[in-house]
Amino acid sequence: MANRKLYLHYLALAGAIALGAILRFWNLDLKPLWMDEVITAIFSLGKTYNDLPLDVVLPLERVPEIFTIQPGVSCSQIAKNLATQSTHPPLFFCGMYSWLNWLSPLGSEWVVKLRSPAALFGVGAIVAIYYVNRIAFSHSAGIIAAAFMAVSPLAVYLSQEARHYTLPMLLISLSLLGLVQVVKDIEKRQKVRLWVLLGWAIINSIGIYVHYFCILAFIAQIGTLLVLVCWRRTNIINKRQIWLALILCVSVVAISFLPWLPVVVNNYNRSETSWLDPPQNISPLYQTLISWLLMVISLPVENQILPIAVICGLLMLLFGVWVGWQAFKGLRQLWCAKSTHLATLTLLSFSIWVLLEFFAIAYFLGKDITPIPRYHFVYYPSFCALLAASFAQTNKKEKIIKFSIFNLHSSIFILFLVGILSCVFVVSNLVFQKPFGPEQVAQNMNQDPSLALMMVVGYRDYQDVALGLSFALALEPLREVGKDKLISSSPSSASSSSSNVAFFKQSPDFAPVLQKLSQLPTPTATQLNLWVVGPGRKRKDYPQQITLSQQMTCTIDSLQHYRVGVPYQLYRCGKNF
């Protein structure tokens, strides 16, 4: 009987891992790359912004050639590139370069290869959170935590982003595993095992070189240890030994980061972080609650007709209230039970410390990071662990549902089912749609597939270039399909549907861009759709006419003006005869 239970236990864990992997790799290349993922690709391929084709006209079909591996680049060179042109630590990008170099030539599947590490790290986080709850609470709480993370829409969304979110999430989960073990050692053994503490310190050191937000997680863990050691000081005998061990390991983490500290200080006021707005009254509070909601349910509300958006929004709110009530009941029981009080206090303290740091960044530094759901990965592992443990606690006496060979409590089954449904929406591009909508921008620009097209991006900085490249990557396959259809129906007219992209510096206004357009070589097409993307510009900044190559007059189409965080405007061009 015991062997059968153990077999079913690990079979359930394997099922959660397998389901998590399927959801993370399903439609991995369906969503278009957006600006941040393009930035990831540039540095992960061993390149810099200096390698981008600026101030030239580039055929659209050649844009994917930008995203090829630069051979022979060392990790130190990648670190130097990031220190001068980005605001991120180097370790993730060094690992990505090794991964992509190993898989080169990347070929047409390069987007899948670019996003695969995030999906793999997301699967690894499922295993890590299982062990967190197994050590902190129980085997069953571990299984529920693994299952919840496997079908959490936020976790699946992060796992399909070619960004450094799931790797730090995995490392934070492992650091929480170490933290829980350290706390249990202090409570039960009245001492700390140095190898556990050093392992915890090494994981935190690695995390800081992967994502700067891991510093927040590390500070929260220190705060948690201080709370526990001070709060429960009457129960601790070897206080001096414990304090010395903690100070030693914290010093190891701090010293390990000293070589990169000047880069962090230099990056603080860079333009890449200027887009974060100051908070509006209590907005960080309800924006945090929204992010919690998205961790458990995500229904289609983005770009939907009003009735669907309202219905889905209400369903999400009602489900969130139900989950919150279930979690509150479970947490209260976990807090009151002697066997689970310490683990509950540890994970709750960590979560509260991180949230306080988020609010401090918003209110004292004027950079509100709470509206961005992906940034909540810092405390997502502790959120997942506590939610799973609370459901495991409250459902001990609940009705059992037979599901294949497994027995599931009804509320856990509902949470699990809603999570799977939400993940289907995520991987189908119905929720967590890419910022700036590259796919929609491409469709708007390709409204006349039979006409030649030129997209011009007036960039202020390299982030604008990355944004323009994301638009170009989404537009290129649409134009290729249109070109193939033209060739099959009318080969002689195929040349009239040429597609190009160009990036021109706008400084201090749009005049330099207009001047560059007037100096371009004469296009072969007699008619052309010119799309001008103007980050930082207003509608009134677009002139009524533009001269292209001194041979074409381009007239503004006032009905074709769009804004997706940045404006883009259509001009219809014809040759002057």
Q: CA 127, CA 150: separation in Å to the nearest integer?
A: 10
Q: Is residue 413 part of a domain?
A: yes
Along the 577 residues of the chain, how does pLDDT read in single tens digits? 667 788 888 999 999 999 999 999 999 999 999 999 999 999 999 999 999 999 999 999 999 999 999 999 999 999 999 988 888 999 999 999 999 999 988 888 999 999 999 999 999 999 999 999 999 999 999 999 999 999 999 999 999 999 999 999 999 999 999 999 988 888 776 677 888 888 999 999 999 999 999 999 999 999 998 888 777 654 665 677 777 878 888 898 999 988 888 888 777 666 666 677 788 888 899 999 999 999 999 999 988 899 999 999 999 999 999 999 999 999 999 999 988 999 999 999 999 999 999 999 999 988 889 999 999 999 999 999 999 999 988 876 555 555 544 556 788 889 999 999 999 999 999 999 999 999 999 999 999 888 999 999 999 989 999 999 999 999 999 988 766 565 565 555 555 578 899 999 988 788 889 889 988 888 888 889 999 999 988 898 899 999 888 888 999 999 999 999 899 999 999 887 6
Range(s) of the domain holding residue 318: 2-30+106-264+284-427
Contact residues for 298 (Cβ-Cβ < 8 A; gap 6+): 153, 154, 157, 316, 422, 425, 426, 431, 432
Six token digits for residue 121: 């790290």
Six token digits for residue 518: 């007037």
Q: CA 465, CA 429: separation in Å to the nearest integer?
A: 24
Q: Which residues pair with 400 in a beta bridge?
A: 409
> Per the confidence metrics, is the pTM higher than 0.85?
yes
Q: Is residue 405 part of a domain?
A: yes
Nearest to 36 by CA among 566, 465, 429: 465
The DSSP element (H or E) to which 315 belongs, if any, is: helix 306-336
Q: Is residue 370 part of a domain?
A: yes
Q: Is residue 508 part of a domain?
A: no
What's the angle, vertex CA 417, arms to CA 113 and CA 336, rounded to 5? 105
Say how many domains are in the chain.
Answer: 1
Q: Is residue 510 part of a domain?
A: no
Please check whether residue 142 is in contact with residue 150, taking contact to mean a CB–CB distance below 8 angstroms. no
Q: Is residue 570 part of a domain?
A: no
Give the 3-state secondary structure of residue 211: coil
Is the four-CA dihedral 468, 469, 474, 476 of positive or negative sign?
A: positive
Please check whether residue 118 is in contact with residue 165, taking contact to mean a CB–CB distance below 8 angstroms. yes
Residue 527 backbone dihedrals phi, psi, to 5 degrees: -130, 145
Q: Is residue 188 part of a domain?
A: yes
DSSP assignment of 118-183 equals HHHHHHHHHHHHHHHHHHHT-HHHHHHHHHHHHH-HHHHHHHTSSSTTHHHHHHHHHHHHHHHHHH
